[in-house]
């Protein structure tokens, strides 16, 4: 019993540290914020940034691959977090249903870049690796200047 009491705190401490490591890993990539469209535009105006929108659905395979393989990339996260207000929206939920219709979303995933007034700057569709998405983001940012 005494051995168990000695081992238990060590086990809990190691589990806590492992959980902390996972949080650090997820912060390395693109940091998507949960906010309304109005709040995203307000934040973009305040920070003088473009808005990057991942338009996805829960059943979309390529959407899941983007989330798993592309968005966690460290270099991609550094660039997008610095230059964009990043939001991910489920096109089949809440206010985003109407938003997806207004934006004429034809398939998933659709990746939109909008200006701070809500006007489309560029879009691309489908899965892509981190390097390709980074080039897309850089080209749009350069073109917008």
The CATH number given to whatever domain includes residue 68 is: 3.40.30.10
Establish if 13 belongs to a structural domain.
no
Establish if 129 belongs to a structural domain.
yes
Establish if 43 belongs to a structural domain.
yes
Say if CB 56 and CB 125 are below 8 A apart: no
- Mean pLDDT, the chain, rounded, equals 87
Establish if 16 belongs to a structural domain.
no
Establish if 21 belongs to a structural domain.
no
Rounded CA gap, 1 and 69, in Å? 45
Number of Cβ atoms within 10 Å of the Cβ of 21: 8
Establish if 118 belongs to a structural domain.
yes
pLDDT at 8: 45
State whether the Cα torsion 30-35-40-46 is positive or negative.
Answer: negative
3-state secondary structure string across the chain: CHHHHHHHHHHHHHHHHHHHHHHHHHHCCCCCCCCCHHHHHHHHHHHCCEEEEEEECCCCHHHHHHHHHHCCCHHHHHHHHHHEEEEEEECCCCHHHHHHHHCCCCCCCEEEEECCCCCEEEEEECCCCHHHHHHHHHHHHHHHC
Q: What is the residue range of 133's domain?
A: 29-144
Establish if 20 belongs to a structural domain.
no
**Residues of the chain with pLDDT > 70: what percent?**
80
Establish if 119 belongs to a structural domain.
yes
What is the domain count for the chain?
Answer: 1
The torsion angles phi and psi of 11, rounded to 5 degrees, stand at -60, -45
pLDDT at 141: 82
Catalytic annotation, residues: 60, 63
- pLDDT (tens, 9 = 90+) of the chain, 145 residues, equals 555 444 544 544 444 444 444 444 446 899 999 999 999 999 999 999 999 999 999 999 999 999 999 999 999 999 999 999 999 999 999 999 999 999 999 999 999 999 999 999 999 999 999 999 999 999 998 886 6
């Amino acid at each position: 019993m005494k051995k168990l009491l000695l081992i238990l705190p060590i086990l809990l401490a190691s589990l806590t540290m492992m959980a902390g490591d996972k949080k650090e890993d997820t912060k390395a990539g693109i940091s998507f914020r949960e906010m309304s469209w109005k709040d995203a535009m307000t934040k973009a105006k305040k920070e003088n940034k473009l808005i990057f929108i991942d338009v996805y659905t829960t059943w979309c395979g390529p959407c899941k691959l983007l989330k798993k393989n592309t968005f966690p990339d460290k270099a991609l996260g550094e660039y997008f977090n610095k230059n964009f207000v990043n939001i991910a929206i489920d096109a089949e939920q809440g206010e985003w249903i109407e938003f997806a219709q207004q934006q004429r979303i034809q398939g998933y995933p659709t990746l939109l870049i909008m200006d701070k007034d809500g006007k489309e700057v560029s879009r691309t569709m489908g899965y892509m690796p981190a390097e390709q998405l980074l080039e897309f983001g850089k080209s749009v940012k350069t073109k917008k200047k």
